Structure 1
Amino acid sequence: MTSGRSNTTQAARVISVVADVMAAIIGLWILMYVLGANRANGFVEFIRDVASWLAGWSHDLFTFDEAWARVVAGYGLAAVVYLVVGHMVAGRLLRRH
């Protein structure tokens, strides 16, 4: 394996892992919200803050009457976009080399 190929493979892995971690954080917040996690807990607050930052562009995108549906749809959309785009970019890098 050449150095260029190795670097590209490593970059693709990093992109995939970052996309997975971002989606996992958002997914964890959705789960915590739906299950009614204690928002005064420091860990829950941290996950909420990070997920809100990651999904800032989508968390109020939908206007369902039920708050849980807005959270699942808005944050869920962000998680799916991060997964799809991250893995598409990684796959494209791997196909180029």
Structure 2
Amino acid sequence: MSPRHRNGSAQAATAIAVVADVMAAIIGLWILMYLFDANRANDLVQFVQDTARWLAGWSHDLFTFDTAWLRVVAGYGLAALVYLFLGHALAGRLRRY
């Protein structure tokens, strides 16, 4: 492969890793806001909650623990971990080629 092609792969891998990190950071920020009982009437808190709920829609109510904070940590935390794992695995794969 030409060096030019490798550079493009590395740039794509970096972009994928950054997107995965940002997605996980938004979800992690919502978990922290929930745990610290952030004011849900605040626009920033609403934005982070809506974005995290959209990103973690597939795992949002996956667990049925009795305590609400544990459901939030487990459901949203799982989504954040999956995004990190898949994003960095894909980025690593692209960097090898």
TM superposition score normalised by structure 1: 0.97
Q: 1:21 corresponds to which residue?
A: 22
Deviation by residue 1:1-60 (Cα, 9 ceiling, x = unmatched): 711011000000000000000000000000000000000000000000000000000010
Equivalent-residue separation in structure 2 for 1:31 and 1:42 (angstroms): 16
Equivalent-residue separation in structure 2 for 1:37 and 1:92 (angstroms): 39
Equivalent-residue separation in structure 1 for 2:41 and 2:34 (angstroms): 13
- Structure 1 letter corresponding to 2:80: A
Deviation by residue 1:70-92 (Cα, 9 ceiling, x = unmatched): 00000000000000000000001
Equivalent-residue separation in structure 2 for 1:66 and 1:37 (angstroms): 18
Structure 1 stretches of 5 or more lacking a match? none
Q: 1:48 corresponds to which residue?
A: 49
Report sequence identity in percent. 69
Equivalent-residue separation in structure 1 for 2:33 and 2:60 (angstroms): 15
TM superposition score normalised by structure 2: 0.97
- Structure 2 letter corresponding to 1:20: D
Alignment of 1:1-97 (within 5 A): 2-95=3-96, 97=97
Structure 2 stretches of 5 or more lacking a match? none
Aligned CA-pair RMSD: 0.8
